[in-house]
Amino acid sequence: MPGDSLLVQGNADTGTLRSSVLYGARTVPVHHHHFRMWLILSVIMVVIGCVLFIFASGPLFRRLRGRYRHQKLQEDVLEDLDIHYNRYDEWLSGANSYYKSLPVHLRKRFVMRVMEFMKTKKFEYVDITPEDKMPLLVSAAAIQLTFGLEQYLLDFFDNIYIMQHDYHYGMYSVPFAGHVNREGIYLSWDNFTRGFANDADGDNVGIHEMAHALAYVNFTAQDNDGEDDVFQARFKEFTVIARPIFDDMQQGGSNMLDRYAATNYNEFWAVSVETFFEKSFQMKQEMPVLHRALCQLLGQDPLLPGKLLEERETIA
């Protein structure tokens, strides 16, 4: 939407054992090998400390921490799933056609992820009366996008802001339907609901902003628990396909994507994603290479009954 954003240093102490001249006293001999052992052990401890520090700040530790956190979340969600499932299933079936088309076993998987997502976010309501459905449906937009990914919680973001209508932000004169920055994900509820009410026009602010959020987590907000190494590697492969299409649009070329995709590469990415979900059949017919690249990147194909590529492989 308009205005979217996308030394360790040690000092070796030296000590001298000095004998005091005392009547009837005997001095203690200096054992140099004890000092050497102490020095070696000190160096070893420093090295171990450095290794632990590097590990604790590295991607492997983040992944392990993230997996533990997700496991705890899943345990909490499982306790509440039976309580909320029927109500959530009804709400999602009435508002999200992607969810409605899922087979039953994947609906439960989807709802579990939505519940995990809600537990990790704080929803802020600005000039709008909160409704119980709001966090559920917004979370579902995020999970729809990330359903085929290993990292699906957009962990960098803690806050989601929901406004009633289009809104103004900063010094921009053009009203916003949604945007993403370090503070959180922002959405106007009017535009959000309109996007899911008509799921075949290629215009869905919920999916659009979640696409920006996914890119922000992986390429802008460095060193965070939401980073997905697999997604980042696949995005490079996607860009080999997508960049020439974007360059052509910037030079005046046309295709089925909305012209807003030519604004910059961030917008091309977000528009491509919302078109992928809302006009998937048309994209497969008219832009099959881009459609296939998005399938591989996101691990899913909206045209498949089970959506997920792993489901296709299981059935085959």
Model pLDDT for residues 214-273, shown as the tens digit of each residue? 999 999 998 888 899 999 999 999 999 999 999 999 999 999 999 999 999 999 999 999
pTM confidence score: 0.80
The span from the CA of 143 to the CA of 21, in Å, is 80
- Tracing tokens 């890119």 back to the chain, one arrives at 215
- Indicate if the pLDDT at residue 66 is higher than 80: no
User: What pLDDT, in 10s, does the model give residues 88-138?
Assistant: 999 999 999 999 999 999 999 999 999 999 999 999 999 999 999 999 999
**pLDDT for the residue numbered 20:** 34
- Indicate if the pLDDT at residue 1 is higher than 70: no
C-alpha separations of 316 from 101, 184, 282, 312 in Å: 20, 41, 25, 6
The span from the CA of 232 to the CA of 215, in Å, is 9
Tokens of 9: 């240093």
Structural domains in the chain, sorted by start: 61-315 (3.40.390)
- Indicate if the pLDDT at residue 49 is higher than 70: no
**pLDDT for the residue numbered 19:** 35
Q: DSSP code of 124? A: E
**pLDDT for the residue numbered 2:** 54
- Burial-class residue 189 by CB neighbours within 10 Å (0-12, 13-18, 19+): buried
- Mean of the per-residue pLDDT values of the chain: 86
Which residues are paired to 184 by β-bridges? 181
- Indicate if the pLDDT at residue 312 is higher than 70: no
**Lowest pLDDT segment from 10-19, 40-49, 202-211, 293-302:** 10-19
- Indicate if the pLDDT at residue 300 is higher than 80: yes
Residue 316's H or E segment, with its range, is none
Which residues are paired to 185 by β-bridges? 160, 180
Tokens of 289: 């290479």
**Sheet of strand 159-163: strand arrangement:** 122-126, 159-163, 184-188, 178-181
- Burial-class residue 265 by CB neighbours within 10 Å (0-12, 13-18, 19+): middle
**pLDDT for the residue numbered 50:** 61
Radius of gyration of the chain measured on its C-alpha atoms: 27
pLDDT greater at residue 77 or residue 109: 109
User: What pLDDT, in 10s, does the model give residues 17-37?
Assistant: 333 333 333 334 445 566 677
Residue 166 main-chain phi, psi, to 5 deg: -55, 150
Shortest CA distance to 236 belongs to which of 287, 288, 283, 293?
A: 293
Helix ranges (H only) for 179-316 are 189-197, 205-219, 229-250, 265-278, 280-286, 288-298, 309-315
CA dihedral 233, 3, 160, 199 (to 10 degrees): -80
What is the mean predicted confidence (pLDDT) over 11-15? 39
- Indicate if the pLDDT at residue 189 is higher than 80: yes
Q: What percent of the chain has pLDDT over 90?
A: 68
**pLDDT for the residue numbered 33:** 61
Q: Which amino acid is at 96?
A: N
The span from the CA of 5 to the CA of 2, in Å, is 9
- Indicate if the pLDDT at residue 53 is higher than 60: no
**pLDDT for the residue numbered 212:** 98
**Lowest pLDDT segment from 13-27, 73-87, 162-176, 240-254:** 13-27
Contact 91, 111 (CB under 8 A): no
